[in-house]
Amino acid sequence: MTEKSQSETSLSSSSTPGSTRNLKESFLHRKLGDSSSSTRGSIHDFKDVSTAATVGPGRMGVGIAIALLLAGVRVYMLDAKERDPTEQEILWERVTAELREGVNSLAELGLLLKEDVEGALSRVSFHPNEQLEEIIGCREVGFVVESVPEIITAKETVLSRIGRSAHDGAIITSATSTFLTDDLARYLEHPEHFLNAHWLNPAFLIPLVELSPGSATDPAVTTATREFLQSIGKVPVVCAPSPGFIVPRIQALAMNEAARIVEEGIATAEDVDMACRVGFGIRFAVLGLLEFIDWGGCDVLYHASNYLQRALSAGERYAPPAIVEEHVNAGHSGGRGHGLFYRFEEHERVEYQREKLTAYVALLRHLDLLPHTSVG
C-alpha cells in the first residue's frame, strides 16, 4: 500500500468483507489489517460474555436471541411491558414457538445437529416486566440488547431502566433502526457503556451488525462489542452516528430507483428483480461498492453519473460526490491499483483480482449460474 487515505483508515478499522469464500480472511482484509483488537483496556474480555439479555421479545428480540443461542450464549429474554398474566402467557407461548421454529429450521438446514436443538433452547429463559431490574443487574449479564418498538417514549423508559440496573461491566446496545446513539444515550446513567448495534433481519442469518458508538461511548466498549460479535460469527462494522447507518442508507436509494424503473415502464418488476439478483447482487456479494469503483476506475463512475444526471433529468439524484469529482479532476482515473479508496502494488493487485474472480466462480457455481463454455 503506497499511501493510507482516510477512507482506508476507516475501512481498516472494520471487518471488510472481501470474499464469499471466507469474509474474514480476504486479501483486502489481510492487507488492510484488522484493528479491532488494537484498543487496549476493554471493559472486559469478550470471552467473558457468556450471558446476554434481550429486552423486547418481538421480531428482532427473537432473531437476536436465536443468533446468541446458536453460539452457545445463555439468553435471558425480558419483556418490558406490563401485561396481565394471560397476556404474558400468550406472549411467551408465541415467543417459545418462534424460537423453536427458528432453531429447528436451522437444524434442518444443517447449521446445527438435530440433537443440539434442545440444548440450544435450554439456554433461554423468559422473564416478565417486573424482573427486568433484577435480571439486568445480574453480574453474569455481559451484553444487553434493547429491541422494543421504534417509539422514542418506549426507548426512553426501557433504556433508563436498563441503565439504572446494569452493572459496570455490561455492554448495553439498542437495535434501533433510526434513532441516533447520542439521542438514546441521554436516557442512560452511564452512556459510556452504550452504543447502537443494528442487526439485519433475519438476525440469526445475516452476518452484518452495524455498530454506531456515540460521542460518550467508551472506545473500549465498542472494541469489546465488536470482539463479542465476532466471537459468535457476526461481521461487525463501525459507523458514526448518522441516519441510516451504512446499509439502510445505500439500500433506500437502490430500492427507490428500482421502484422508479417500474413506475416509468422501463422494465417489469420481475426483470428488475432478476437484474438485481443475478447482476447487482452477485457483483456486490463479492466486491464492496467502493472496491468496485476502484476496480473499474473512478472516472467511469464520474462520467456515468454525469451522463445519467443529464439523460434522466435527475437533478442532484445522480450527482457524483466531491470526493469522486476531485479524484478525477486531479487526474487519477483509478483502476490498475491506483484507486480512490485502495492502493495496491502491481503484484498485490494481481493476487487480489484472482481471489475475487475465484469467489465469483464459487458463488456462481453455488447458484448454478456458471457461464456455459464449450471447453470439454
Q: Are 82 and 131 in contact (CB under 8 A)?
A: no
Cβ of residue 329: shortest distance to ligand NAD, in angstroms? Answer: 39
Cα-Cα end-to-end distance for the chain:
41
Is residue 224 close enough to count as binding ligand NAD by CB under 6 A?
Answer: no
C-alpha torsion 292→294→299→300, nearest 10: -20
Q: Are 268 and 276 in contact (CB under 8 A)?
A: no
Give me the half-sphere count of Cα atoms (radius 13 Å) on the Cβ side of residue 340. 26
Q: Which of 24, 59, 100, 260 binds ligand NAD (CB under 6 A)?
A: 59
Q: Which of 65, 69, 135, 175 binds ligand NAD (CB under 6 A)?
A: 175
Is residue 180 close enough to count as binding ligand NAD by CB under 6 A?
Answer: no
Distances (CA, A) of 167 to 39, 75, 141, 142, 222: 22, 17, 8, 9, 17
Omega prior to 320 cis, within 30 of 0: no
Cβ of residue 250: shortest distance to ligand NAD, in angstroms? Answer: 15
Is residue 124 close enough to count as binding ligand NAD by CB under 6 A?
Answer: no
| The one segment of 32-40, 117-125, 159-167, 194-202 that binds ligand NAD by CB under 6 A | 194-202
Is residue 149 close enough to count as binding ligand NAD by CB under 6 A?
Answer: yes
Return the axis-axis angle of helices 298-311 and 322-329, rounded to nearest 10°: 120
Is residue 202 close enough to count as binding ligand NAD by CB under 6 A?
Answer: no
Is residue 56 close enough to count as binding ligand NAD by CB under 6 A?
Answer: yes
Cβ of residue 18: shortest distance to ligand NAD, in angstroms? Answer: 25
Q: Which of 12, 27, 52, 57 binds ligand NAD (CB under 6 A)?
A: 57
Is residue 239 close enough to count as binding ligand NAD by CB under 6 A?
Answer: no
Considering CB under 6 A, how many residues would be counted as binding ligand NAD? 20
Q: Residue 270 carries which side chain, given as an amino acid letter?
A: E
Question: Within positions 75 to 94, which residues make up the interface with ligand NAD, using CB under 6 A?
Answer: 80-81
Q: Are 144 and 158 in contact (CB under 8 A)?
A: no
What cell does 124 get? 433461554
Is residue 162 close enough to count as binding ligand NAD by CB under 6 A?
Answer: no
Applying CB under 6 A, which residues contact ligand NAD? 56-61, 80-81, 147-150, 154, 158, 175-177, 198-199, 201
